[in-house]
Structure 1
């Protein structure tokens, strides 16, 4: 366990790496909010119908599948820009595309060129998701595991400030530029998006000035063992597989199986006239092709980082994946119903917004900073356990609030503790994920692990409304608190195993380190 002093722990926040991560976090938060939250307001004000706005929100799927093309960032050195280094080149490219995309959006009036505006928003989302992968890989390679939490905290601080700036701040600037007029003013939104495009410049300058991570050349060569042709084939095969598998089951479900069981010519009708069944057969063939020997060879750039993870940790990988997939379950499932709960309790929108922005933002940043400091001082596993307890326990405050009605003071207490625990837990979890990655495949492995983190909580979160309708808010929040117990047990098992290894090999690393040539 680390024995750093408090002074040593605080030094990490004044390092050049922390300042760089603060700027990179700001650059990551701007485009995310501008293509979702703020864009929806712009579209609605211009007269776009709700159905189209909801369809435009599907742009968010880009972030959910960023791990699909993350191997490119590990294994492909960009032409010309590649002279900056493997990580800096991707940062500069993605940030430049974000700035260009935002400027392009500013030149498109939804009333006249909605399709072009949406296309540019997709470009911004794709470039922003790529920037996220590049920043995570850069952070993993510039510091040791004990410093990752502090770097994650500064990144989160920049991200949260940018998120507030790109939502409430963007609406303020739009009003200032003329959007407060009773009639729709395109120039107000154009000026706003041009301003935010210019705000990407500090991040681009930062990416040009920061040092390239000092990763051994042999490690980089090992990561870039696949040619660009092979990498592009891998991305295409993976996209086809991700589309064809769910589509296959959906079309089989829609097929007319009843006629097959009741009519003598049912099979002929299925083969000749049932379009869902024919589409299901097509998707089955595509799935089979992707899983064939040819498809598996094409998926090698993605499968290699996965097999590396399994080979390094063997059976322990199951324990780690269980911990990763459940760690954020308690607060994620609860969070789906949080805003609805506030409204149902009788709080006004102004109260919710002001308390969330004022107290919520401050406490999230405070929790993240405290998490980074504590991990440098005491190590990852104790703070990971503390974050798990805090995330689950704060749900009980929501259960208490449900019996108190619209009590503003209790709302402040609840939001403060909830956001503090969220910041603390997120920072600890990022440090834990960072400790598991191999520098050869840092972009790919971290993108995959962070995707696994949200998969199960998001699926369960889809049933949160049904749970509230059946048991009520008080019992719902109590149940979400209980969801944290399995995670705490998994952390204790992992922590115990690390302490046993540390006692046997006092000079060895607790977790297997990425292979260094």
Structure 2
């Protein structure tokens, strides 16, 4: 009992100390700025287009701007290595964060001055640029969080606060945006949202940046490191760069061609986004992650074995192209560092990344058809349960997950979150079977009585309890997952490494939705939820394996941040 108390007190002390840190405050602000444009471009915008009587086919083309978020890792190397001439003094990460927020603010204000029905060309162009700027902001904010984390503002707490800000902004940009637009109009609503992002961009000027000095002139020293004894010879590096560069160039070209064809071709000749994702999605991942990882592993092995490396005699005489060295550091070195540090454990890590969030991502597309079609709820009931109550439960789960991280540790919370996220699918299976169990639970805790006294029904209470339990569990899992993902990347290469790993998170869910939809048609929602629960158990098993690996090898396992937050000496 004494041990439990001793563990609990440091957890609260760590949490309170981190919340007083100015980095935590800016992290909440940046999380809000990250989630707001995502909600405005990929959700609320369609309500505006619907009200403006834009046809569904055109709205389908608008949905393609979401590819900017799916393939953001393709330009992450540029953000990791290059500075903005006028703004570089702000710091390595902050210069891009502030620029993206100002651009987003200007775009939202500009959209407010356009009529989407009469100026659809300009409207779609600005929305596309806005999605690109928003995805760029996400890359750099994630890197900033990893770079500035320390023993007080730990990566666990910063990751949790980031997600809380993100979720709150999705409520502001989504449900609240709809309410405000109904009263003052869409142009005024988007102008207000744009002003909020511009204000955040100004406040962001005062945020700390751990890489400020490095952004001002360390590149020459970094390039010189490549020519030191023990580093790979320039010709070997250049062959690796050429191979990885061609693979990434092909992937980027495929995405650009698809976007151009979708925006410019006649309606009958436009490519199908679902077919594109299912066909080219895996190929793009193979070209940008799998094959480059193999190449990086080969380069890391050559250097580790001392083959094709610079000798002490050659160090002063070898010459290489500065441009090639810059590109190598931007594109190949982050992969080489990660694969060289992680080793064969990369297989386990990639498997965990691919499966951890699958339980809530793979069936999310079918949530509204399930609520509205299968269960017969109204739009208002679903909005109350999923948007307001659900987001509140999510934020509460994130807060509880952040506390668990300081008490139980990262891997224990990660495993618990995976188990809870998988188990909550059984609650939806009960709803699909009539909801007898969830009704009993709602009645037993007095929730049904409370909702009925507020004007709701027993049926609504049952849905709210189910969504609340799932979102609370998802919040715990999300807090632990982002903290773990942030902990396994290196600070110097965080933009590229984190963008690559996070892009894989929803890949299996995206590619598997077609098959899941067919399963629902043939077997119904009940069997689908049981199936998704079993899939979630795979992530639980992988969490246990990763937990064992980290405990056995410690820092040699590639964990950059400690599993438990460290209490500074007083």
TM-score (norm 1): 0.80
Equivalent position of 1:99 in the other structure:
105
Alignment map for 1:40-439 (pairs within 5 Å): 40-144=46-150, 147-177=154-184, 188-213=185-210, 217=214, 221=219, 225=223, 238-244=248-254, 300=328, 301-343=330-372, 344-404=374-434, 407-439=459-491
Bigger CA drift: 129-138 or 192-201?
A: 192-201
User: Shift of the alpha carbon at 1:297?
Assistant: 9.4
In 1, Cα distance between equivalents of 2:332 and 2:19: 36
Equivalent position of 2:312 in the other structure:
none
User: Shift of the alpha carbon at 1:61?
Assistant: 0.6
CA contact (8 A) 2:34 2:138 kept: yes
Q: Residue deviations 1:401-436, cap 9 Å, x none?
A: 111259333212211110011111111010111111
User: Shift of the alpha carbon at 1:339?
Assistant: 1.9
In 1, Cα distance between equivalents of 2:204 and 2:418: 34
Equivalent position of 1:268 in the other structure:
none
Q: 1:108 to 1:154 in 2, by over 3 A?
A: same
In 2, Cα distance between equivalents of 1:306 and 1:136: 17
Q: 1:86 to 1:214 in 2, by over 3 A?
A: closer
Equivalent position of 2:272 in the other structure:
none
Q: Residue deviations 1:308-366, cap 9 Å, x none?
A: 21111111111111111111112222323222111211111111111112321111001
In 1, Cα distance between equivalents of 2:44 and 2:11: 44
CA contact (8 A) 1:22 1:157 kept: yes
CA contact (8 A) 2:91 2:211 kept: no
CA contact (8 A) 1:25 1:156 kept: yes
Equivalent position of 2:309 in the other structure:
none
Long gaps (5+) in structure 1:
178-187, 249-286, 503-507
Equivalent position of 1:261 in the other structure:
none
Alignment map for 1:21-36 (pairs within 5 Å): 21-36=27-42
CA contact (8 A) 2:92 2:212 kept: no
User: Shift of the alpha carbon at 1:225?
Assistant: 4.8
Is the aligned partner of 1:447 residue 2:444?
no
Equivalent position of 1:6 in the other structure:
12
Bigger CA drift: 19-28 or 138-147?
A: 138-147
In 2, Cα distance between equivalents of 1:167 and 1:55: 20
CA contact (8 A) 1:23 1:206 kept: no
Q: 1:383 to 1:345 in 2, by over 3 A?
A: same
In 2, Cα distance between equivalents of 1:141 and 1:149: 13
CA contact (8 A) 1:238 1:299 kept: no
CA contact (8 A) 1:402 1:473 kept: yes
Runs of 4+ in 1 over 6 A off after TM superposition: 233-237, 245-248, 296-299
CA contact (8 A) 1:150 1:369 kept: no
In 2, Cα distance between equivalents of 1:171 and 1:411: 22
CA contact (8 A) 2:92 2:211 kept: no
CA contact (8 A) 1:75 1:223 kept: no
TM-score (norm 2): 0.73
Long gaps (5+) in structure 2:
1-5, 225-237, 259-286, 296-323, 436-457, 562-570
Alignment map for 1:445-484 (pairs within 5 Å): 445-484=497-536
In 1, Cα distance between equivalents of 2:433 and 2:553: 47
CA contact (8 A) 1:387 1:425 kept: yes
Q: Residue deviations 1:427-459, cap 9 Å, x none?
A: 101011111111111111000000111111221
User: Shift of the alpha carbon at 1:304?
Assistant: 2.5
Number of matched pairs = 455
Q: 1:111 to 1:492 in 2, by over 3 A?
A: closer
Q: 1:202 to 1:117 in 2, by over 3 A?
A: same
CA contact (8 A) 1:103 1:193 kept: yes
User: Shift of the alpha carbon at 1:499?
Assistant: 2.3
Equivalent position of 1:39 in the other structure:
45
In 1, Cα distance between equivalents of 2:351 and 2:466: 29
In 1, Cα distance between equivalents of 2:134 and 2:120: 21
In 2, Cα distance between equivalents of 1:53 and 1:245: 19
User: Shift of the alpha carbon at 1:149?
Assistant: 2.5
User: Shift of the alpha carbon at 1:236?
Assistant: 9.1
User: Shift of the alpha carbon at 1:97?
Assistant: 0.7
